[in-house]
């Protein structure tokens, strides 16, 4: 059986979504692929949904007069793309996101940049209030096509200690 899949019936396999608690080893680094190229639509929808009216994100003429010479992708869009890239493995089975901390934007992102993400597992422990879950804390970095870190953040979330039961209940 290929890794990342499980047998459903004879002649049928299903992709696994999300790690279970025991899959998160301290120090493990997960490289999330494929990359994701940021589009103008991503930036415009993100700014529209949040009500961000800063012209640095949407006004090409204004942006051309800044040190960047073109619109910057909204940091909220960058954060959401990078975080979203991690979900399939890290928190695909999450019960709840508990915290997003130490968010930093270190380099600009522009339309046309391709982003990649990598996540390091920093800590894990059984949940005291939810015995069927464990808490996982990780540090995720978003990198552009040149390997420059554009964003970094720490995230804590709950995951099931029995991922197979969670997958079965949700038909994952």
For tokens 């494929």, what's the residue?
A: 34
Query: Any idea where the domains of the chain sit in the sequence?
Result: 5-170
The 10s digit of each residue's pLDDT in 10-66 is: 999 888 888 889 999 999 999 999 999 999 999 999 999 999 989 999 999 999 999
Higher-confidence residue: 170 or 48? 48
Q: Which fold has domain 5-170?
A: Thiol Ester Dehydrase; Chain A (3.10.129)
C-alpha closest to that of 79 among 138, 140, 145: 140
List Cα–Cα distances, 74 to 7, 84, 86, 129, 145, in angstroms.
42, 15, 19, 37, 18
The 10s digit of each residue's pLDDT in 86-102 is: 998 898 888 899 999 99
- HSE-CB at 106 with a 13 A cutoff on CA atoms is 13
């Amino acid at each position: 059986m290929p890794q990342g899949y499980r047998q459903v019936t004879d002649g049928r396999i299903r992709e696994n979504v999300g790690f279970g608690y025991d899959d998160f080893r301290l120090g493990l680094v997960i490289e999330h692929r494929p990359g994701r190229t940021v589009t103008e639509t991503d930036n415009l929808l993100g700014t529209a949904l949040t009500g961000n009216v800063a012209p640095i994100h949407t006004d090409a003429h204004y942006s051309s007069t800044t040190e960047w010479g073109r619109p910057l992708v909204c940091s909220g869009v960058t954060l959401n793309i990078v975080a979203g890239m991690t979900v399939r493995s890290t928190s695909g089975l999450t019960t709840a996101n508990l915290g997003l901390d130490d968010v930093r934007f270190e380099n600009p992102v522009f339309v046309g940049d391709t982003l990649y993400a990598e996540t390091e597992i920093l800590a894990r422990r059984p949940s005291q209030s939810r015995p069927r879950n464990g808490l996982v804390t990780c540090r995720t970095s978003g990198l552009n096509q040149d390997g420059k870190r554009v964003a970094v953040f720490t995230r804590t979330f709950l995951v099931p200690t029995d991922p197979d039961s969670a997958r079965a209940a949700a038909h994952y």
